[in-house]
Amino acid sequence: MAISNATQPAVVTTAEATTDKGAMAMVTTLFFMWGFLTCLNDILIPHLKSIFDLNYAQIMLVQFSFFSAYAVFSFPSGKIIDWLGYKRAMVIGLCTMGLGALLFVPAASLPSYPLFLTALIILAAGMTILQTSANPYVAVLGPARTAASRLNLTQAFNSLGTFIAPWVGSTLIIGAVAAPVAVEVLRKMAAPELQAYRVSQAASVKGPYIGFALVLFLIAVVIGFYKLPTIPSAQSHGEKGTSYFDLIHHPHLIFGALGIFTYVGAEVAIGSFLVNYLNHPQIGNLTLTKAAYMLSYYWGGAMVGRFVGSALLQKIPTGKMLAFNAAIACILVITSMLTFGHVAMWTILLIGLFNSIMFPSIFTLSIDGLGPLTGKGSAVLVAAIVGGAIIPELQGLMADRVGIHHAFILPALCYMYIVFFALKGSKHDTEMVIKAEA
C-alpha cells in the first residue's frame, strides 16, 4: 500500500486514480459512530464520578480502560484483517462494539464500576478493529496526493459524531436523572439508601446504550451486504517477507507513533476534564448539565476545522499546517492555565478547532514512504492511541495533587512535541535525498 506525502505529487501504482465516493460514504459512517461513542466517555466521567464517589485518578480509569484496548487489540486486529479482509473485519468490529454497548445494561443494574470498565474495554476492542482497517483503507481509496485530505474529510464526520454526542449524552444520561447529591451527603448515606441512589442514577445509561447497540448491529448488516471495492494493496496487513522489525529503518514512523500517542493523549485529557473544569467555581461555575453541553463547542470546533482543513491541505503542506495548529493549541492551553473565568473557559474550548487536522496529518506523514510496510505501520500508529489511556490518567494524578487548573501543563507539553514532529521528526530518507540532490 503505497502512500506518498500528501503535500507532494508522486507516481503511485497501487492507489486508485479517482476516489470511490460510494465506498467513502459507507466507511465514513464508521468514523461518525466511533467518534460519537468515544465522546460519550466525557459524559460518563462526571456521571460515574458522582455515582461512585471517585477521585480524578480513579475516574480516569474510564479513559485508561477504553484507550488501553487500542494497545492490546491493534495487532490482533491486523491478524483479523489478514485472515478475513477489511470488509469482514469492519463487520466484526461493529458487532463487538454492539456487545460492549449492551453490557452497560447489567453494569447499570448492579451498579458496578468494574463492569462499566469491562463494557468500555469491549466497546473499544471493536473500535480498534474499525480504526486499524478504516484509516489505511481510506488513505488508498483515491489518489495518494490527497490522502491527508480524504482522512481529514472522514475525520470531520468523526467530529460530527463528537459534536452531537454531548447534546445526546447530557440530555439522555445526565439530564435524565435528578441532580447528584453533594459528596458530604453521599458519604453519610446508609448502605441500602446508597445502593438505591446509585441504581436510580446509573439507570439513565440503559436506554441510550441499548439504542446505540441496535444501531451498531444495523450498520454491521448494511456493511455486510454492501459491495466495498477490493483494493489489492489494502487487502493485506503487510506483504509476505516483511516484519515489524523492518519499521526500525523508518524513524519518521517511530516519531509519528509518539506523535499519535501525545496528540490523542492531549485531546482526550482535555475533553475528559472539561465538564469538571467548567463546573469549577473559578472557571465557568456551570452546572454539570450545562458544562456537558459546552463540550459541543470543543468537539464542534474540531468538526469545523476538519472540514476547512480538508480543503486547505490540498494547497498547504501538511507538516507546516500541523506545526501551526499544534503551536496555537499549546499557547491556548497555557493561556487557560494562567487565567480564570471566561478567558480560561473559552481558550480551552477553542483548542478543539486546532486539534482538528492533527490525527490524520500525523497519520499520513507517518506512513508516507513505507510501501509494503504500510499496513504494519498503521497497526503501530493505532496502538499508539493508548496515549488516550496514559496521559489522562497521569493528568488525573496531577489534578488530585496540584488541582485541575494546573494539571493542564501535560497537554501543553504534548503539543510541543507535535510541533517538533511536524517540522523535524516527520522527515524521512526520501525527502532528505531530494533535498541533497537539490
| Mean pLDDT lowest among 159-163, 392-396, 431-435 | 431-435
Q: In this predicted structure, what is the pLDDT of residue 103?
A: 97
Give the chain's mean pLDDT.
Answer: 86
Residue 150 — pLDDT band, cuts 50, 70, 90? confident
How far apart CA 329 and CA 416 sit, in angstroms, is 9
Q: In this predicted structure, what is the pLDDT of residue 430?
A: 52
Q: In this predicted structure, what is the pLDDT of residue 208?
A: 96
Q: CA separation (Å) from 419 to 155, 298, 350, 413?
A: 21, 21, 18, 10
More confident residue, 213 or 313: 213
pLDDT digits over 163-214, tens only?
A: 899 999 999 999 888 888 888 899 999 999 999 999 999 999 999 999 999 9
Other Cβ atoms within 10 Å of 267 Cβ, number: 27
Alpha helix locations (H) across 313-428?
A: 318-338, 341-355, 358-367, 374-383, 387-402, 409-420
Q: Is the pLDDT of residue 15 over 80?
A: no
Average pLDDT over residues 277-297: 92
Q: In this predicted structure, what is the pLDDT of residue 135?
A: 73
Write out the three cell numbers for 24.
467513502
Among residues 207, 212, 231, which one has the least CA distance to residue 94? 212
Q: In this predicted structure, what is the pLDDT of residue 240?
A: 57
CA 377 to chain centre: 18
Q: In this predicted structure, what is the pLDDT of residue 2?
A: 28
pLDDT digits over 96-149, tens only?
A: 999 999 999 999 999 999 999 999 999 999 999 988 888 777 877 777 777 767
Q: Is the pLDDT of residue 241 over 90?
A: no
* Cβ-Cβ contacts under 8 Å for 131 (sequence gap 6 or more): 34, 70, 74, 382, 385
Q: In this predicted structure, what is the pLDDT of residue 235?
A: 47
pLDDT digits over 372-424, tens only?
A: 887 778 778 888 999 999 999 999 999 999 999 999 999 999 999 999 999 99
Q: Is the pLDDT of residue 250 over 50?
A: yes
How far apart CA 37 and CA 41 sit, in angstroms, is 7
Domain boundaries, the chain: 21-437
Among residues 186, 97, 138, 161, which one has the least CA distance to residue 374? 138
pLDDT digits over 78-109, tens only?
A: 788 878 888 888 899 999 999 999 999 999 99
Average pLDDT over residues 154-170: 87
Q: Is the pLDDT of residue 437 over 60?
A: no
Domain 21-437 class? mainly alpha
Q: CA separation (Å) from 414 to 120, 225, 266, 327, 349?
A: 25, 42, 6, 10, 17
pTM of the model: 0.82
Residue 336 — pLDDT band, cuts 50, 70, 90? very high
Residue 7 — pLDDT band, cuts 50, 70, 90? very low
How far apart CA 27 and CA 90 sit, in angstroms, is 9
Q: CA separation (Å) from 198 to 115, 139, 187, 325, 409?
A: 14, 45, 12, 42, 34
Q: CA separation (Å) from 171 to 164, 175, 288, 289, 345?
A: 11, 5, 11, 8, 22
More confident residue, 122 or 244: 122
Q: In this predicted structure, what is the pLDDT of residue 52?
A: 95
